């Protein structure tokens, strides 16, 4: 048993797609969430910058005494996973669990991947798909407008979001994919718009949800779950306006209660 919290981070609200599933899978766990809203998006930045931000995010979560680190961010998982590996504690990144779920779902072995520019440029999902299933056909598309749309609250029913989805998804629809990896954790927030544009019969794989399920299995397997009889809490930290995060996060998590959100000066944490 281990009563410390689980540390989860993302550039903004995207990692909440993992938090929602973590709470469903492990209602007894405390969660500390950091959304780097002052520096979102990560996906348009260089590898060096994403690594530096990841080091600071991890240093902040470690300062809260967490027992596990979850990079609920496709971009961090694609270019800076080594920062989590170096910490010497249990961790999860999105790639492997997401790819395994996609390979279990596909029937025609034509898999689409959408993600941020940094994620698609890294080739991380393609490599993992081809490694675990040689011969699978992979069709990739970066969708740089999706993260700013989600962060500004243009959700599934919004017409600009629908137009962007149509623009990004039509090449994958024409390629005949039957499975689509939402390789950025922000994307499930607009999954209706993405699903409509991807076409009927395409299975959408939610990277945040798959990673949360993996994390639950890992913690349980290591015997590090919270002692029974505890109702898990969630504390949120952001590096910019609290209000903006609270309103989008509140809609996404679907709770009526006000969220416990605090500001953190992330520049105080070491990037080395």
Q: Which residues are catalytic?
A: 73, 184
Helix (H, G, I), strand (E, B) or coil at 9: strand
Nearest distance, CB of residue 223 and ligand DGL, angstroms = 30
Indicate whether 106 belongs to the interface with ligand DGL (CB under 6 A).
no
Indicate whether 212 belongs to the interface with ligand DGL (CB under 6 A).
no
Indicate whether 75 belongs to the interface with ligand DGL (CB under 6 A).
yes
- The span from the CA of 209 to the CA of 170, in Å, is 25
Q: Tell me the number of residues near ligand DGL by CB under 6 A.
A: 16
Query: Interface mask (CB under 6 A) for ligand DGL, residues 119-138, using x and -?
Result: x-------------------
State which residue, 74 or 112, has the beta carbon closest to ligand DGL: 74
State which residue, 77 or 179, has the beta carbon closest to ligand DGL: 77
Q: Which of residues 31-50 bind ligand DGL (CB under 6 A)?
A: 40-43
State which residue, 10 or 29, has the beta carbon closest to ligand DGL: 10
Candidates 6, 9, 10, 97: give the one binding ligand DGL (CB under 6 A): 10
Indicate whether 11 belongs to the interface with ligand DGL (CB under 6 A).
yes
> If you search the block for the tokens 């993996």, which residue do you land on?
214
Query: Interface mask (CB under 6 A) for ligand DGL, residues 148-187, using x and -?
Result: ------------------------------------xxx-
Candidates 116, 122, 124, 141: give the one binding ligand DGL (CB under 6 A): 116
State which residue, 111 or 149, has the beta carbon closest to ligand DGL: 149
- H helices of 36-190, in order, are 47-63, 74-79, 81-85, 95-105, 117-122, 124-132, 146-151, 159-174
Contact between 121 and 50 under an 8 Å Cβ cutoff? The reply is: no
Contact between 253 and 33 under an 8 Å Cβ cutoff? The reply is: no
State which residue, 95 or 234, has the beta carbon closest to ligand DGL: 95
- The span from the CA of 217 to the CA of 246, in Å, is 29
- The span from the CA of 211 to the CA of 230, in Å, is 23
User: Which region among 72-80, 85-93, 124-132, 221-229 touches ligand DGL (by CB under 6 A)?
Assistant: 72-80
Nearest distance, CB of residue 146 and ligand DGL, angstroms = 9
Measure Cα distances from 52 to 34, 49, 56, 123, 128 in Å: 15, 5, 7, 20, 24
The residues facing 263 across adjacent strands are 238
Nearest distance, CB of residue 38 and ligand DGL, angstroms = 12
Residue 135 CB contacts under 8 Å (≥ 6 apart), including other chains: 109
The residues facing 162 across adjacent strands are none
229 CB-contact burial (10 Å; exposed 0-12 / middle 13-18 / buried 19+): exposed
Please provide residue 153's backbone torsions phi and psi, each rounded to the nearest 5 degrees. Answer: 85, 10
Q: Which residues bind ligand DGL (CB under 6 A)?
A: 10-11, 14, 40-43, 73-75, 116, 119, 147, 184-186
């Amino acid at each position: 048993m281990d009563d410390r919290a689980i540390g989860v981070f993302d550039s903004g609200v995207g990692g909440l797609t993992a938090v929602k599933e973590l709470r469903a899978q492990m209602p007894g766990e405390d969660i500390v969430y950091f959304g780097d809203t002052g520096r979102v998006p990560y996906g348009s930045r260089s590898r060096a910058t994403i690594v530096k931000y990841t080091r600071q995010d991890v240093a902040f979560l470690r300062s809260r005494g967490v027992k596990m680190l979850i990079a609920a961010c496709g971009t961090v998982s694609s270019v800076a996973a080594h920062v989590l590996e170096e910490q010497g504690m249990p961790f999860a990144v999105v790639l492997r669990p997401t790819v395994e779920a996609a390979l279990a779902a596909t029937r025609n072995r034509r898999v689409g991947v959408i993600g941020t520019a940094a994620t698609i440029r890294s080739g991380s999902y393609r490599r993992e798909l081809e490694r675990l299933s040689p011969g699978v056909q992979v069709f990739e598309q970066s969708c740089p407008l999706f993260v700013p749309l989600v962060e500004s609250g243009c959700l599934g029913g919004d017409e600009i979001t629908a137009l962007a989805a149509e623009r990004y998804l039509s090449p994958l629809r024409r390629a005949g994919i039957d499975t689509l990896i939402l390789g950025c954790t922000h994307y499930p927030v607009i999954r209706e718009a993405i699903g409509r544009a991807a076409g009927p019969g395409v299975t959408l794989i939610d990277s945040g949800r798959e990673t949360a399920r993996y994390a639950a299995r890992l913690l349980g397997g290591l015997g590090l779950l919270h002692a029974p009889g505890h109702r898990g809490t969630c504390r949120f930290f952001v590096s910019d306006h609290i209000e903006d995060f609270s309103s989008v996060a509140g809609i996404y998590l679907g709770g009526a209660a006000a969220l416990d959100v605090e500001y953190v000066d992330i520049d105080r944490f070491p990037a080395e």
